[in-house]
A and B are shown apart, each in its own frame.
Chain A
Amino acid sequence: QVQLQQWGAGLLKPSETLSLTCVVYGGSLSGYYWTWIRQAPGKGLEWIGEINYGVSAFYNPSLKSRVTISLDTSKNQFSLNLSSLTAADTALYYCARRQWTSFAFDIWGHGTMVTVSS
């Protein structure tokens, strides 16, 4: 049973950089896309970007200048960095696995609430 365990700082100041990590337990990084999705309070879901082992990362154009997603195969984990934070980045951040064939997000982390406030 594959599980995603995520962690990172929950309270940040404007202009700081968000760093979140998601560890994959019970499965391999290869053969899937690894994704970050966020949900502002009371709002819908926004895809941030995804990365595949051996392939370039793909980012939402609305965030592309500020976001980096990376893989660490030695630790079986992937990470999100989002720079130049503003209050608009306050959200619940999820990591998720995207299937190669169905293209659906079939496994999700529990979410990390990130608040940007001075």
Chain B
Amino acid sequence: DIQMTQSPSSLSASVGDRVTITCRASQNIKSYLNWYQQKPGRAPNLLIYTASSLQSGVPSRFSGNGSGTDYTFTISSLRPEDFATYYCQQSYFTPRTFGQGTKVEIK
């Protein structure tokens, strides 16, 4: 299986901060890398697909970048509604695999 390693596992930040999460795949996943936001008691919500494409309806403060094995996810200016857990996920290989998640908490 492809291992997806996210870092950090958690972070504390303030409203207005720039936040960056990294995700490393154990093999080249050819930019088939997606990012999801999950709030407590809710299903995950797709934010970014194929590394850098913004899902329809998602605010532009969310962005993604990367290629090969290394990817980043950025929130340019954190808003109160962004406090949640974020997951990366690769779709190039089966089984599809997720990172362990990054919990973004209020400082």
CB-CB < 8 A to B28: which residues of A? none
- Also in contact, A45 and B91, with CB within 8 A (given A104-B50, A105-B34, A105-B46): no
Q: Which B residues are CB-close (under 8 A) to A62?
A: 95
CB–CB A44/B100 < 8 A: yes
The CA-CA distance from A105 to B36 in the complex, in Å, is 9
Measured as residues with beta carbon below 8 angstroms from the partner, the interface class of chain A is: 20 to 34
Q: Is the CB of B43 within 8 A of A110?
A: yes
Residue of A nearest to B41 (CB): A111
Contact code string B67-100 (vs A, CB < 8 Å = 1, else 0): 0000000000000000000010101101111111
Contact, CB under 8 Å: A104 / B100: no
Residue of chain A at shortest CB distance from B97: A47
- Within residues 12 to 59 of chain A, which ones have a CB less than 8 A from any CB in chain B? 35, 44-47, 50, 58-59
Complex contact B44–A44 (CB within 8 A): no
> Contact check: which of A35, A59, A61, A104 meets B34 at CB < 8 Å?
A104
CB-nearest residue of chain B relative to A63? Answer: B95
Q: Which of B30-88 contact A (CB under 8 A)?
A: 32, 34, 36, 43-46, 49-50, 53, 55, 87
Nearest CB of A to B22, in Å: 16
Cβ-defined contact, A44 with B98, below 8 A: yes
Q: Which 8 A-B pairs have the closest CB atoms?
A: A103-B91, A104-B49, A108-B43, A47-B96, A102-B49, A104-B34, A60-B95, A45-B98
Q: List 19 A-B contacts (CB under 8 A).
A: A44-B87, A44-B101, A45-B89, A46-B98, A47-B96, A58-B94, A59-B95, A62-B95, A103-B91, A103-B92, A105-B44, A105-B46, A106-B46, A106-B55, A108-B43, A108-B45, A109-B43, A110-B43, A111-B43
New A-B contacts (8) at CB < 8 Å, excluding given A45-B44, A105-B44, A105-B89? A44-B100, A45-B101, A47-B98, A60-B94, A94-B43, A103-B34, A104-B55, A104-B89
